[in-house]
Amino acid sequence: MIVAGDVSNDYRYTLDVLQEIEHRTGKPCLFVPGNHDIWNIGRPLENAWSAYEALQRYDSNLTNAPYSLGPDWIVIGDIGWYDYSFGSSAFTGDDYGRMEYGGRVWKDKLYAKWDRDPVQVHELFYRRLQGQLERFKSKRIILVTHVVPHEHFIVPTPHPQWDYFNVFLGSRQYGELIEAYGGAVKYAVFGHVHYRKRARLGEAEFVCGCLGDREE
């Protein structure tokens, strides 16, 4: 099983859920954090790195290390982030920097407290994934991110809100990285957008297996 993040809004509950899954199934549940999992709601003195590192107490967290599936296959993963490359030209960089539009706030602004700006966060995770892909390029790779790696999976536009908010869904660079290692990356698994969809793009099968939000 692979879970591409957004289990809950609190890493402590996320850890409980992941451990319960493994306990009940007796199987590894491979995981990368989502932006919700690293939010600091109720823990205002903690930053995103605190939650990210706390989640690494879970052994099957792919941010600890890639996971081998026998001699030929390996699973590589990390949360990833966004670099505004899915943005519309109707908005400026300053517009996106505010992370607010139409009376709505992208809640990472409030609760995902990294020690650098979003583009720098993206670049850090991009470099980590690139290094792992280079290291394991002789294997068949399942690449897992939380964020969206290809524009095919952003919310279709024109749309009164997502013309703006698509910019926070991921980065074109992850898709370009998958294409560059197309002979090795067989599957790209991700979440974040909360719409189920899959497609073959180039040599890789892209799988967005989101379950959607719980409704009371």
pLDDT in tens, 118-159: 999 999 999 999 999 999 999 999 999 999 999 999 999 999
Q: What is the reported pLDDT for 211?
A: 81
**Of the candidates 8, 35, 44, which has an alpha carbon nearest to the alpha carbon of residue 192?**
35
Q: What is the pLDDT of residues 50-104, one digit of tens each?
A: 999 999 999 999 999 999 999 999 999 999 999 999 999 999 999 999 999 999 9
State the average pLDDT over residues 161-184. Answer: 96
Q: Is the pLDDT of residue 214 over 80?
A: no
Q: Is the pLDDT of residue 160 over 70?
A: yes
**Of the candidates 101, 104, 187, 105, which has an alpha carbon nearest to the alpha carbon of residue 141?**
187
Look at residue 107 and give its three-state secondary structure. Answer: coil
Residues facing residue 197 across a β-bridge: 208
Cα separation, 131 vs 15, in Å, equals 27
Which of the four pLDDT bands, split at 50, 70 and 90, describes residue 194?
Answer: confident
Look at residue 67 and give its three-state secondary structure. Answer: strand
Residues in the chain: 216
Report pTM. 0.95
> Residue 158, preceding bond cis, omega within 30 degrees?
yes
Q: Is the pLDDT of residue 21 over 90?
A: yes
Amino acid at residue number 159: H
CB atoms within 10 A of CB 11: 26
Q: Is the pLDDT of residue 207 over 60?
A: yes
Q: What is the pLDDT of residues 8-17, one digit of tens each?
A: 999 999 999 9
